[in-house]
Structures are given as C-alpha cells and as structure tokens.
Amino acid sequence: MTSVTSAAAMKLLDVRLKHAGSIVSSAIGEFTSSTAGLQEIVCIRAGGTIDLYRIVISQVGGGDKANVDNGDDDDDDDEVQTTLKLITRLETRSVLRSICSVRVSGGKRDVVVVGADGGCCSIIDFENGVAKVLHCPAFGKVGCRRDTPGQYVASDPRGRAAMIASVEKRKLVYVLNRDAAGEVTLASPLEAHRPRTVVFDLVGVDNGYDNPIFASLEVQYLDHEDAVLSEKKRISDLKIKEENGQVGSNDSGKTDATLGRYGDGFTKQLAYYELDLGLNHVSRRWATTTHRTACCLAAIPGGADGPSGVLVGGEDYIEYVHEGMTPPPLPPGFEGAKKIPRRLISAIPRRELHPSSKGILITTITVLRQKKGKFFALAQSELGDVYKITLQVSKEDKSVVTKMTVCLLDTLPIGIGLNISKLALLFVPAEFGDHCLYQFDAIDIEGSAVTCTSEQTIAAYLKGESRASSSEDDEEDLFYASPENAAEFAPTFRPTILRNLHKVFTLDSLAPVTSILVGELAGNEVSPQLYALCGRGPTSSFRILRHGLSITELAVSELPGIPGAVFNVRDEKSGKNGKFYDRYIVVSFADATLVLSVGETVEEMGKESGFLTTEPTLACSALGNGDKGGGICQVYPGGVRHIQRGSVSQWHVPGIKKIECASANESQILIALVGGELIYFELDPLSGNLMEAATRDVGADVCSLDVGAVPKGKSRSLFAAVGCRDSTVRLLSLAPGSLLEQKSSTALGTTRPHSVALSNDLDSDTTGEITLSVGLDDGSALRAGVDPITGAISTSPSRRFLGARPVAVSRVTLQGSPATLLLSSRPWIGRGSSSGKGRHAMAPMSYAPLDHGCSFSNEAVKEGIVATSGNTLRILSVGDNGGSDVVLGAEDDEAFNSNRVALRYTPRQMCLLSAKISTPGTSSAAAQSRKILLALVESDYNDFGEEEKKTMGFDGTGQLNKSSSKKKTGDSNRDVDDEAMDLDDESDDENTNMEEKKEVGDDDEEDEEDNEARVTPIRGPFPSEPGRWGSCVRLVDPADGCTTLECIEMNRNEAALCCASVRFHSRGGESLLAVGTTTGMTMNPLCHNSSHVILYRVVNGERLQLLHRTQVDDGPVLSLVHFQGRLLVGIGKTVRLYEMGKRQLLKKCELRGLPTMVKTLQAAGDRAFIGDMMQSIQYVRYDATANRLVLVAKDRSPRPITCQELLDLNTVAVGDKFGNISILRLPRGADVGAIDVTGTRALWDSSREDATPKLETLCNYHIGEVVTGMTRASLVAGGAESLIYVTVTGRVGALVPFSSREDVEFYSALEGFLRTEAPRPTGREPQAYRSYYSPVKHVIDGDLCDAYSQLPYEQKQKIAERLDRSVGEVMKKLEDTRNALL
C-alpha cells in the first residue's frame, strides 16, 4: 500500500484517459470549408474542450460523401450510413459557458463566438479543420462571476454584430466586419449595461438589414433600500386612503414597481436592445411583459424571409412576441367577447398521466429557415417531448402573425439544445447519457399528430371566468400562470416509440458517472475492466469499459492445420473509385499452401489459381498498379513463381540454398537466403516480367524483411527494412543507383527482431515521415521514425511491451489511413494522429489472441482484417459501426470500448460481494467455490416504482401504440415532404442528398434494426406530491456479461442510497449486503419519514435473501462501510457502529455532533475517514477498551466532499463538488494522544477546537469537473497503481505517481515552459485555471503537457532545447509515461 504514497510519489501527473462526454452547448453551421452543404456541429464540453464534428453521409459500398453527392451511379444500391466524424478538438483549459455561430458579412463560412471564464470574448475560425483564434479581447475579470459577461452569447443573423452578456447587469456588443484583406475585424465593445437586471436568455433578432437588435429575457429587481422605502410609502398611502375613505374593493395598494405583476417582487420582460450602426451606440429600444415562467428564446426569420419576432418558451405555453404586434384575432365564435386577448400564445400538448397541478417547462427552442419564406421551429420540454411549431401569417401583410400551431413530433432524450441540419437530420446533445443524431421521416405532421393551436388557447381564456378584482392584463397573466387551466383544454397524448424520426448515429457519453470500480472480474481477460455507473432516469446504464478497440467478428472457419502465415492478394480488375478489393486469401502451412477465392462466397482454389500448393508460401502479392496486368508473384522456399495471364514462370534458388524469408509489394520483391544473402527483383513496367536487379550479402542471417508499401502516385518504395539475427535492424535503399545500399541501422540490445514493417504515418498523398515498426522476440514492439530523404532512423525509438509472445507486425488500413497490426499474446493496432501533429496512438483489440494477420477488403467489408488463431481463419472488422466509432489516433483520447447494461433507475452505488457456491449433490466444504458478484442500488426522486407504473398503465418502452406508430410511419409519411424541409437556394445539393436518402428510406422495411432505431427513453409519470421515490437493488454477475441475477424492488417511496459488503464476525465471515434506505425523503426542505439499514445474504450466488431491517434515527443513511467485523453507518450527523443481531442490528457505540452530514465512509484497521457533506474529512479512531469512537483530526479547509479513496492508513484522496482533488495526510504522531488510557484528561481539554490536530494537504489540483468516484488500481496486470477517478460529466482520468526524481524535474520544467508557450484560446492562464479554488500543489497538468505535440515544430524545438533534449526524446517521454499506465 505504500507504492502510491511514498516520498517520490507525492508528485503526481494528471493523465486524461477519456474526455468528458457531457456537452454544455452546441451550434450547427459550415465552419471548415465554403463547400455548399457541408454541415458541421461545434460543441463545447465540460472540461474546456471544443469539438468540431462533421456530418458524414457515406455509402457502405463507397466512400464518404461528406454531406454532398459524389455523382457516382455505381453505388446507388448501397446502404446509406450517417455518422459524426470528429474533425478537430481544441483544448482551452477554461470553463466554457456559451457558444454561437456567426457568418460575418462577406464570408462563406461560419465562425464561432465563445464565452468562457477567461474574461475575454473569443472568435475562433476552423478553416480547413484547423482551429485559429481570430480575436480574444479582454473585457473583465476572470472567473464565472454573475456580473462578468460570458454566460450568454448571441449573434446578429446577418453577421454584423455579437452580444455577450453576464447573468446580471453587464452586456457588451461587438461590431463585426471585414478589412480590405477579407479578415474578420472586431471593434471595441459597446456597453448595454442595466443595473439590477438578471438575464435568463439572449438571442439575436432577425429584422433584415435594419439596425441589429438583440432580444433579452430579463428581470429587473429593486435595490434593497429602494424596496424598503417603496414599501413604507405604500403603507403610508394606504393609511391616508383609509382615513379619507378612498380605499375600494379594487384598490390593493400594490404597484408593479413594488411587488411585480405577480406579487413576488419582479416582472419578467422581453427587451429589445438596438445597435445603431450609424451612431455606434446601443440602447434599450422596447420591452414587454412575458409569461412569468419564460426561460428560453428563439428568433423568427425576418426581412423577406418571415415576420421576425421571438418565440418565448415557458411553462405549458409557447408565445410569439414582437415589437408593434397587434392583438391576435379572436377565434371563431368569440367575435363579440368582452375580454380582448393581447397575447399570441399556444399551449403545448400534455402527457396523459401528468398531474394537472404541475406545469411542463419548455427548455429549448430552435428555428430552421427554409427557402420561399418558409420556416418552422422545434421545441423540447423538460420531459423530452419535442414539438413542432408553425406560424401562420396574414395574407395581406406577411409581417403579421395570425395563428400559431404546436404539434407533437416525438419523444427524445432530454437535450440541452436542438440542432437541425439542412440534410433532414436532428442532432440532440443530451443533458445526460448518449448524444443522438436522428433522421427525419416526416415533418408535415399537422394533420396526424396531437395538435394545439393559439385559437384553442385564446378560446379557453375567453371562456374563463372574469375576476372583478383584476385588470384585463392581470387577468390574462393569471390565467396563463395556472397549470390547471392548461390541463383543462390542452390535448393529451401517450408517448410511444419514434414515429417521425429514427436514430442513425449515437455519440457515446458516460455522463453522469456516479461510481467507478476497477478489476478483472470477467475471469478470462488479461487486463482489468472499468465498471462505471452512468446515466440518470430512463437513460441509466451500467457500463463495462475495456481499454482497446471493439472488434466485430464477421466470419470464422476451420482450417486443416495450424497455419504459419496468411496473405491477401489484390484483384487488379476490381478497381472501383480508386480502390481495389482482394481476390485471394492465401494461407501458408508448414508444407502446403491453401488458396481461397474471395467473391460472394469464399471458395477453395486448386491448381487453376496458378499457385504452387505443395510448398509453404513466404510472401505473395499482386503485381502492377491495376492496369498493366502484372499478375501475381508467389515466393516459396525453393524460388519465386510469377503467375501472369494464365502462364507461370519461375526463378529457382541457385544450388542447395533455401529462401528463409521474403517480402513483396506491387512492383518489388526482396528475398533473403540462408546465410544472409539478399536478392532484389523488380517488375519491368514495359514487359510485365520480373527482373533480378541486385544482390547483397548483409553478413548476418536475416529473420525478417519488409519492402514497404508503394506510395500513391509512385512506382516503388524507396526503402526496405531488414531484421537480422545479430539483434540489428538495417534500412536499405531501393532507389535506382543505390540498390540495397545500407542507409542506417539500429541495435536492439539482447533481443532479436521477429518481424519488421515500414508504413507512412500520413496520407499517401503527403510526404510525411516513414515509421519503422519492429516486433521483438521478447514480446515488445519498437517504433522509430525514418527520414524519407536520407533514410536515417530516429535516435529515440519508442518501445512498448505488448505481451508474452513474439510480436508479428503487418500493415492494415483503419478509417482510410495506414495503420499497423501487432500480434502478441494480445492483438494491438497503432497509427499516427489524423492531424499529423499529435502523438502516435496504440491500443489493444478486445479480442482473442491472434497468430497471423493482414488487411482484407471486398465489397462487403471495406476495411477488415483476415487473421488466424490456432487452426481457424477469421475475418474481423474494427469497431461496431463499420469503423465509424473508432477513436484511435483521432485525438488524445485513449481507445475504450464499452458494453452497456440498461438499468431501471439512476444508479447510486455499487459494491463487490463474495458468494459461496455449492455443487449440487455434494456437501463437503471442498466442493464449495467462491463467486464474485456486484450489487447495485438504484433510486430516482419524483418517480414511481415499477409496480405503480404498471398499475397506472405506463409503459417505458413506448410499445403501447406500436401498431399505430407503424401505420403512421408508412411509406407515405416517411418521405420528408419537399416543401416541408425545403431549404434556401444555397443548398440545392443538400435537397438532392435528402431525396436520395428518402428513396433509400422508402425501400427499408420495419425490421428489427428499424425498431431498435425507433426505441427512445421515456420518463415515467411525474408524481403530484413530493417525497415519491422509485428504487431497487440489483445483483449482477460480472463473469457472465453482467447479466442481472435478481432485481428487488424497494417498498413504496423507499430509496436505496448506499450499499456495502460487510462480514460480521458473529456470522463466520460470510459476505452480506448492507443497504441504506430512506423513506419519503424530500430535497427542499431536506426531511424524511424514516431510515433503515437492510441486510441481505447471497444464496448460492444467484439471489438475495432478506435477513432483517433495522430502523435508525438521526437522519438519512448515506454511507456504510465494513469496520472490524461490524458495520459502521453514517446517519445524518452521526456515525454509529452496529453488531449483527438475530432480528435487527445492535447499536454498540456512536459519535455524534459531526458538522453537517456524513457523505462518505472508509475504514482501515481501527481507523475511519469520514467525509462530511460540507466540512471535509474527519479522522476517527476506535477505542476498543472504552468502546467509543474518538475524533483524532480534521481538515482545516471546508471541502464539500463527494467521494474519497484511502491510499494508506494515514492518507486519503478526496474530491469535492467544486471539481478539486486533494490528498490529505494525518500528521506524524497526531493520533498518539487521541486515546486516553489513564482517564485523567480533562473533558474540556479534548473538546477545544484548537486542540484537534489538522490534516496536512499533500496535493491539490483543480480538475474542472465534479469528481464523483475514485479508486486506487492498476489498469494493466502487474502494473503500478494509480488513482483512477471519474467525473459527473463522464471524464475518466488517472493521477499517476512519479517513480523517479528525473521524471519530476522533466515534467515540472515542461509544464513551466508550456504555461507560456501553449495557446490560450479563451485567454485563461493554465496555472490559474488549475488553482481555481486553492493553489495547485504537487500535481503536473498532463493535459497541458500533451499540448506539446500540437505545437508547431519551431516551438517544439525551442522547448526541447531548453530541456536539453531533442523533439523526438520529448515525444518519446510523453508516450512512455502514458504507455506505462496502460
């Protein structure tokens, strides 16, 4: 246990393993290129990263179309696949708060305006996929302050200005323009401040080319002194009126200025701020009162495209508001009504089981502008229901809106925004869980969907009873403020599976993660797995993360023996779009060769293939570039066989020598004879024959060869790699004039090379550095860069241990770029960064060990791998979605694949259980075995239990109206109507693309895959009263794919919040499950009816048996832990120790008076670390002689603890709700006097605050995300331990202890240089960000160190010189540190 907390280890390195999955905000536009219709989505994530994704529409049988049609008719019958491809990722090391896109006047691309905590307004351009900060002017203090702009950002739809606003008071407007060179310019900010004003949302109003206008949803409150004076004046005036007898029944003495329109001190308004471009001044132009629950805005197209104005979303209603708008027309039948409505407002359809006393809040609205002056809006409620909103304008005046229609579209996961693409796609960045991309099947749904109109809403208001005590305005406001009124007339519906949308792509997200566990629990794998509790409500899941790439097994067949190699032979006649498919799979055995023909089926070939099948094959390849008819070459121990146009020519080895190894590509063959003699052949481009070109004796036996791949547009590879038995690898020239001339070599020490491979890191069109990969006999792989001009091998090669078997290396293709397949006791794949500047990425494959492998491609499998394992031949594909979900080398994320188990409620905690399994028919102790199980507790607030939901008729799968759903989404409705999704004239290509996808959609049947694409999470009915809970306890088997063995539903309104495995000495050490529950708990105010501790035992490793329930007092039970054969329970402000009794738990001792509430508990020996909800760690020791718990020490800083992990008996790591990780240690000798064995200590002496020792802070570091779980573990078998942590936003990271002073000095110096050299996109200083709440201490920022690989080469070289290293050595050091962790 001392490995993590030794003296050298108190310097830690923060290594990010997986980026945060939670998205804060997003915007859609055309950011990288001016190509029409190139749709991209930019997302800001928690943790300070900006991700740019491109919507890629590809055909399974062809290449990427990247939103636009490629014009090829050959692939019309292929299946269309839509994905999101990560283009670039920008690290800001700041808190990102808001983002919006703007197309500056005169531009053809969009740029983004970002609001963050750096006190700057950042304008970022993504031209050609490279992020560039155009402007970053400072305007205020750093930090997320209520009066520092950055919380809201809005842009003028015409691209002339942008407004950035704070939560309170301050608003700044920046005028955007272009200079003579076409570069974006930014003017000085113009102030639009308004004191004592709280902003709820901000949007740019589209009013054509008039002065830009920004709409702000805000509330202005009175100053405290003004409010007191106003109240005194009101009382005085009321007394005077009473004395004069002037107080009437309608005179309440209340004014809007004093109490607001609703009597609560404020009135919510929609205000227009106008930027006068001529005077260069911003003024508050106009304001009007809105619905009191309004929270979101969306701008309606204006000018020639629409009536302009703003949609305001609130509780139960959506309202249209615009300056100068006339009162809406009276609905039919109410022409003579006395009440005159002044609002154009419409209620939203409600769910059937939703209580009438609770409103439904609209959380986000977005508008899609179409051509011909058409547009529509989508809005989503807090329950996930998505509504389509259409406005009807007057025939006489197109700027006057006469009617609003709101109809139900579908039910989707709750999102933080809605991004509608011109490609009939909808991207929903989820609030929690995976983010989804949906395809529209139908959009003109007004005639078939549940619909509510403004006429129905106004008619309901006119039917309502008038209140004599209220004015007309107040009466209308009070009517719309009551959810009961909306429930009376709004149409109802029951949520079902998707009818008008279907899911086409899922962007994985772990957020939120509530707990983490690391261990090899599957029982048959090499590396440990990460078990994470993720999600909330209906999107809850239990994820099993494995480091590596997911593999899809396409085919497996038996072979007649154990092969020695496998090759693929390209078919030069099958070229399609510049790509070639494989014609043969050649499997070599010890004394024979098996040739398999690849077509619609794989068939064995005989002599008709031309191969010599009675000898093993050492190398084979198709010759020529596809149009020369070069034929096929086969190298066998006795010679070289050239198969061309049905004829066979052979070259035999002279004398009695044999060929030991060989390598071949499209035009070159290199063979090595026994003794070290090399013979080189080339393909004559004129005759198509093989010609012997050169020979050379290298002076040592050759054990491996590779001539490399021929670059695109070239006729030959310029280098060959030769691995010799003298533990050297030599690089030979294949250039004319210097054939087989040695260019460089590298020594491998005591181990020998097993295989070698040369590959290009970048695309073959670019001239990048060549990579030499060497598989060694000791199970490690070596990678070094090769200069493409001189052939010099890098002096700082990177080496990594892969497994216990010699490593076989071969070239494959991954997502269209070259990659390397490395096979040991575990298969691996490595490739360079997609940007060309990042680090080389390598990850294992989550698959069984493979012996030999090579690339494979045919019409069905574009990028596959053909490999052998034992006596089987396997065809594999990397990734689950045809490779579209592969993140290897995309950015700095490590490659993790996950398996998901759906849960019923939000997971709270999990623990390990050890269960005894008895073999049937035996009773001896020897026949019993142990089985590791996992127990999970789940609970949801404001939810019903499973049985109550069934009684109410709720179906969470949405299958109740499945038949009607199918009927409504038939071929006639699945076509997206041309006019409904018609776009502006700039996007005709997208319309063509949409029509193609519609045709494909018409031909698809409602099969099982289609049903899976239409399943959507549906939240259960909302209880009408507080304190309702749904909860269960789940037992899963990790060795069987985490299948659920039993799920026990808790009692009504009882919530299981924590669990622990406990071994009571009185039960003989049997592992029992203790569950802490609370009944009827409400959050505001925090109270409950009762709390219990429930004990279960595991019966034969299959089910849970209830032992007893123990009611406890003093507060809710939030933490449990095993403590010296007893159970230590955290109950409110009390820690209590229990022993097991026959009918209930027996209280032994307790410690009362803890600061606020016990949140976490961990124990080691006679010591316990108690995490308080507000006051950090309390260190307690158990005095067995006096049977009492004694407070030994506490933390001097008040940290709101969220999780903790013991590092040793005196050290604990804690995470707080502000995103900090701290490591605390008990001072030496602090617990010596904690237990008074003499009994002579004065009572007041031990109760003094200053007498309690304080814990020392060893490390402190700001993660930037709330840490919800941590554990001490190793991610590789036998590796060093690290502190693995997870955050509420889905990030997975590790704090790695340094093992040497050299590493500490290197990383400290590198971090110091990068603090000044690394770019600051939002103006935030890296050290200040990591010291957000307290100064960073003894932790190196790994994210900042990784930024070194993204710097220009000149900056890299400058930093490397200051470190007295080369650039390659610095990169190697960074890579080796990460490789040691994984």
φ and ψ of 687, to 5 deg? -90, -20
Q: How many CB atoms lie under 10 A from the CB of residue 328?
A: 22
Cα separation, 876 vs 852, whole angstroms: 13
Going by pLDDT thresholds of 50, 70 and 90, the confidence category of residue 892 is low
The predicted model scores a pTM of 0.90
Say if residues 1034 and 552 touch (Cβ distance below 8 Å).
no
What the block records as the tokens of 1030 is 């749904």
Six token digits for residue 729: 């690898």
Compute and round to an integer the Cα radius of gyration of the chain. Answer: 35
Q: Which residue has the tokens 């007498």?
A: 1251
Ramachandran quadrant class, 474 (left: phi over 0; alpha: psi -120 to 50; beta: rest): alpha
CB atoms within 10 A of CB 374: 18
User: Phi and psi at residue 1348, in whole multiples of 5°?
Assistant: -60, -40
Q: Which residues pair with 719 in a beta bridge?
A: 733
How are beta strands 344-347 and 565-570 bridged, if at all? unpaired
99 Cβ partners below 8 Å, 6+ apart? 25, 26, 27, 42, 44, 50, 112, 113, 114, 115, 153
Q: Which whole number is the average pLDDT over 612-624?
A: 91
Tens-digit pLDDT profile for residues 125-180:
999 999 999 999 999 889 899 999 999 999 999 999 999 999 999 999 999 999 98
**In this structure, what token pair is assigned to residue 1366?**
């080369």
Could you tell me which residue, 576 or 1192, shows the higher pLDDT?
A: 1192
Q: How far is it, in rounded angstroms, from Cα 221 to Cα 56? A: 48
Report whether pLDDT(992) > 50: no
Q: Which of 573-582, 716-725, 962-971, 974-983 has the lowest mean pLDDT?
A: 962-971
Residues 6 or more apart from 948 whose CB is under 8 A from it?
1030, 1052
How far is the C-alpha of 1192 from the C-alpha of 1181, rounded, in Å?
Answer: 6
Instruction: Find residue 1147's DSSP bridge partners.
Output: 1138
User: How far, in Å, CA of 828 to CA of 779, rounded?
Assistant: 12
DSSP class of residue 256 equals: H
Tokens of 175: 């005028």
pLDDT tens track for 905-917: 999 999 999 988 8
Q: What is the pLDDT of residue 162?
A: 96
Q: What is the pLDDT of residues 244-303, one digit of tens each?
A: 766 554 444 443 333 454 445 578 999 999 999 999 999 999 999 998 899 999 999 998
Q: What is the mean pLDDT of the chain?
A: 86
Of residues 679, 749, 674, 687, the one with CA closest to residue 707: 679
Dihedral (Cα; 795, 801, 805, 809), 10-degree rounding: -50
Q: Is the pLDDT of residue 337 over 90?
A: no
Residue 1163 has, within 13 A of its CA and on its CB side, a CA count of 23
Instruction: Judge if the upstream peptide bond of residue 1085 is cis by omega within 30 degrees of 0.
Output: yes
Mean pLDDT value across residues 695-712? 91
Distance CA 269, CA 272 (A): 10
Is 615's pLDDT higher than 50?
yes
CA distances for 622 relative to 581, 628, 810, angstroms: 11, 11, 17
What does 1179-1232 look like in DSSP terms, one character per residue? EEEEETTTTEEEEEEE-SS---EEEEEE-SSSEEEEEETTSEEEEEEPPTTTTT
Residue 1286 near residue 1267, CB atoms below 8 Å: yes
Provide the residue type at 1089 as one letter. N
Q: Retrieve residue 610's tokens.
A: 């031309």
Q: Which residues contact residue 565 at a Cβ distance below 8 angstroms, ignoring those fewer than 6 apart?
A: 587, 588, 616, 617, 618, 852
Q: Which phi and psi (to 5°) does residue 1019 adopt? A: -70, 145
Predicted local confidence at residue 880, as pLDDT: 66
492-493/350-351 β-pairing:
parallel
Please answer whether residues 1324 and 117 qualify as being in contact, where contact means their C-beta atoms are separated by less than 8 angstroms.
Answer: yes
Task: Check residue 266 and give its pLDDT.
Answer: 73
| Residue 1263 pLDDT > 90 | yes
d(CA 1113, CA 1115): 6
DSSP-derived letter for residue 1281 is P
- The count of other CB atoms within 10 Å of the CB of residue 478 is 16
Residues 118, 1332: contact at Cβ < 8 Å? Answer: no
**So what's the pLDDT on residue 366?**
97
- Nearest Cα to 1290, choosing from 18, 14, 13? 18
Which tokens in the block code for residue 1058?
A: 């924590």
Give the H/E segment covering residue 460.
helix 454-463
Q: Compare 6 and 745 and report the one with higher pLDDT.
A: 745
Question: Mean of the pLDDT values across residues 543-560?
Answer: 91
181, exposed or middle or buried, with CB in 10 Å at 0-12, 13-18, 19+? exposed
The total number of residues shown for the chain amounts to 1382
> What does the DSSP assignment read for 1122-1150?
EETTEEEEEETTEEEEEEE-SSSEEEEEE
pLDDT, mean of residues 788-807:
88
What's the start-to-end Cα distance of the chain, in Å? 20
The predicted structure's pLDDT at residue 1201: 96
Sequential DSSP letters for 854-866: EEE--SS-SSEEE
Helix %, strand %, coil % of the chain (to 5)? 15, 45, 45
What pLDDT does 766 receive?
A: 44
* Full strand arrangement of the beta sheet holding 375-381: 362-369, 375-381, 385-393, 401-411, 451-453
Residue 1292 CA to residue 515 CA, distance in Å, equals: 11
* Residue of 478, 450, 454, 444 lying closest to 464 (CA atoms): 478
Query: How far apart, in whole angstroms, are the C-alpha atoms of residue 768 and residue 761?
Result: 7
User: pLDDT tens digits for 399-427?
Assistant: 899 999 999 999 999 999 999 999 999 99
Q: Which of 642, 636, 632 is nearest to 658 (CA)?
A: 636
Q: pLDDT value at position 968?
A: 38
Does 839 score more than 80 pLDDT?
A: no
465: which DSSP letter? Answer: P
* Nearest-angstrom CA–CA distance, 748 and 759: 20
The set of residues, in sequence order, having a beta carbon less than 8 Å from that of 242 and lying 6+ positions away, is none
User: Which residue, chain included where needed, has tokens 């005095």?
Assistant: 1183
- The CA-based angle 232-233-239, given to 5 degrees, is 90
Q: State how far the alpha carbon of 848 is from the alpha carbons of 639, 1296, 1319, in Å.
A: 35, 29, 43
Pick the more confident residue, 892 or 953.
953
Cβ-Cβ contacts under 8 Å for 466 (sequence gap 6 or more): 338, 339, 475
Q: Is 537 strand, coil or helix?
A: helix
- Does 514 have pLDDT greater than 90? yes
- Residue 1012: Cβ-neighbour burial (10 angstroms; 0-12, 13-18, 19+): exposed
